């Protein structure tokens, strides 16, 4: 049976790093507080020439270079993002134009930190129907443009970046073989970001507080751990696997305490969980594809390995996905 295989990965991080010492000069915080509560030491912040679509395009070029596939051979470009520099057109359309991927249709999906995993699942489903397709899936964020830099509760957590994968069909046992995607819109207000203020006075929200990320950190923490555990456990059971069958878990990089809690609940040893959070902070939809690219380039996955992705974000949205590398 044809499955969606990742043929190549790429990523792109902005040049400028913002350390915890830099954060100490911006808000009332400390390196000790941030490191002990989150595991984050640095984050990358976009500058000139590093708009969301520009980071996305560079990541895509790097992924294409690994595969030898030309931009005009792409059939579809999906970008998972919640921080497009324009509402219309989509970031995917900008990437399509920048790459010269003239034969690809293109659109964005919005599922916050879970966006890349949703996108990879989407690509996998396209491949089931049209196995000849070549699909570029990107997670790209410039959340630095959506953060209240005076709010210490959120500004220390996030960073910018992009990661990309090229997906195509194969019949050799590799590829995506399962997913468990979930959402609970009733809990939207635990983690949200307002739109720019409405031009239509009748549609203006009375409680508009600026187009910034707002979060109930404690509740998000609890939901993140429980939801990802539940999703992974259900997915493994569905495929008659146990956590011992997983060669590498690549979780959404949000917070080291969330990851350690999840790891302990699932019973997976540290050496089988990929973590690069300390350098980049939480890059939302970009975090898993950046981690996937780094894990790939570091040789952490051998052909045939079972890789588990798991994620959680605003929406609420969450889920997990299994693939044989």
Segment interacting with ligand ACO, rule: CB under 6 A, options 30-38, 99-107, 131-139, 194-202: 30-38
Whether the CB-CB separation of 11 and 162 falls below 8 Å is answered with yes
Instruction: Look up 282 and say whether it is catalytic.
Output: yes
Strands 76-80, 213-215: pairing is: unpaired
For ligand ACO (CB under 6 A), the number of binding residues is 23
Contact flag: residue 220 with ligand ACO (CB under 6 A): yes
What ranges make up the beta strands (E) of the chain? 3-12, 16-19, 42-45, 76-80, 105-109, 134-141, 161-170, 175-183, 191-193, 213-215, 248-251, 306-313, 317-324
Kindly tell me which of 41 and 152 has the beta carbon lying closer to ligand ACO: 152
Contact flag: residue 191 with ligand ACO (CB under 6 A): yes
Instruction: Look up 252 and say whether it is catalytic.
Output: yes
Measure the CA–CA gap between 124 and 167, rounded to whole angstroms: 8
CB 39, min distance to ligand ACO, A = 9
Contact flag: residue 273 with ligand ACO (CB under 6 A): no
Residues in Cβ contact with 216 at an 8 Å cutoff, skipping those fewer than 6 apart: 189, 190, 191
* 3-state class (DSSP) for residue 169: strand
Contact flag: residue 107 with ligand ACO (CB under 6 A): no
CB 315, min distance to ligand ACO, A = 10
Query: Which position among 16, 37, 214, 265 is part of the footprint of ligand ACO (CB under 6 A)?
Result: 37
Whether the CB-CB separation of 321 and 176 falls below 8 Å is answered with yes
**Region 276-295 residues binding ligand ACO, contact defined as CB under 6 A:** 282
Instruction: Look up 239 and say whether it is catalytic.
Output: no
Which among 252, 255, 261, 296 is annotated as catalytic? Answer: 252
Contact flag: residue 312 with ligand ACO (CB under 6 A): yes
Contact flag: residue 25 with ligand ACO (CB under 6 A): no
Measure the CA–CA gap between 184 and 309, rounded to whole angstroms: 19
CB 110, min distance to ligand ACO, A = 15
Contact flag: residue 38 with ligand ACO (CB under 6 A): yes
Query: Which position among 254, 266, 292, 322 is part of the footprint of ligand ACO (CB under 6 A)?
Result: 254
Helix/strand/coil (H, E, C) string of 40-97? CCEEEECCCCCCHHHHHHHHHHHHHHHHCCCHHHCCEEEEECCCCCCCCCCHHHHHHH
How many C-beta atoms surround the C-beta of residue 183 within 10 A? 15
Residues lying near ligand ACO in the complex (CB under 6 A) are found at 29, 33-34, 37-38, 113, 152-153, 156-157, 191, 215, 217-218, 220-221, 224, 252, 254-255, 282, 312-313
* Residues with catalytic function: 113, 252, 282
């Amino acid at each position: 049976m044809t499955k969606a295989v990742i043929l190549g990965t790429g990523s792109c991080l902005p040049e400028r790093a913002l350390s915890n010492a830099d954060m100490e000069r911006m808000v009332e915080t400390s390196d000790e507080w941030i490191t002990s509560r989150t595991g984050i030491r640095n984050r990358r912040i976009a500058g000139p020439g590093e708009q969301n679509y520009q980071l996305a395009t560079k990541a895509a070029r790097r992924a294409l270079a690994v595969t030898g596939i030309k931009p005009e051979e792409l059939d579809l470009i999906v970008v998972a993002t919640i921080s497009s520099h324009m509402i219309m057109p989509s970031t995917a359309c900008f990437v399509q134009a920048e790459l010269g991927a003239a034969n690809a249709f293109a659109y964005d999906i919005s599922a916050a930190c879970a966006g890349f995993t949703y996108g990879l699942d989407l690509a996998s489903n396209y491949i089931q129907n049209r196995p000849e397709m070549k699909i570029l899936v990107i997670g790209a964020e410039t959340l630095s443009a959506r953060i209240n830099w005076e709010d210490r509760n959120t500004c220390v957590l996030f960073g910018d970046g992009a990661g990309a994968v090229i997906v195509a069909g194969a019949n050799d046992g590799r590829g995506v073989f399962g997913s468990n995607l979930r959402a609970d819109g009733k809990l939207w207000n635990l983690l949200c970001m307002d739109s720019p203020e409405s031009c239509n006075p009748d549609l203006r929200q009375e409680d508009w507080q600026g187009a910034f990320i707002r979060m109930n950190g404690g509740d998000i923490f609890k939901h993140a751990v429980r939801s990802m555990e539940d999703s992974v456990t259900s997915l493994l059971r569905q495929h008659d696997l146990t956590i011992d069958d997983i060669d590498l878990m690549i979780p959404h990089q949000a917070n080291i305490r969330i990851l350690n809690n999840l790891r302990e609940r699932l019973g997976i040893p540290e050496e089988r969980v990929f973590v690069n959070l300390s350098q980049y902070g939480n890059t939302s939809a970009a975090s898993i594809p950046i981690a996937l690219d780094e894990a790939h380039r570091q040789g952490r996955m051998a052909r045939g390995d079972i890789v588990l992705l798991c994620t959680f974000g605003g929406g609420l949205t969450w889920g997990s996905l299994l693939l044989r590398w």
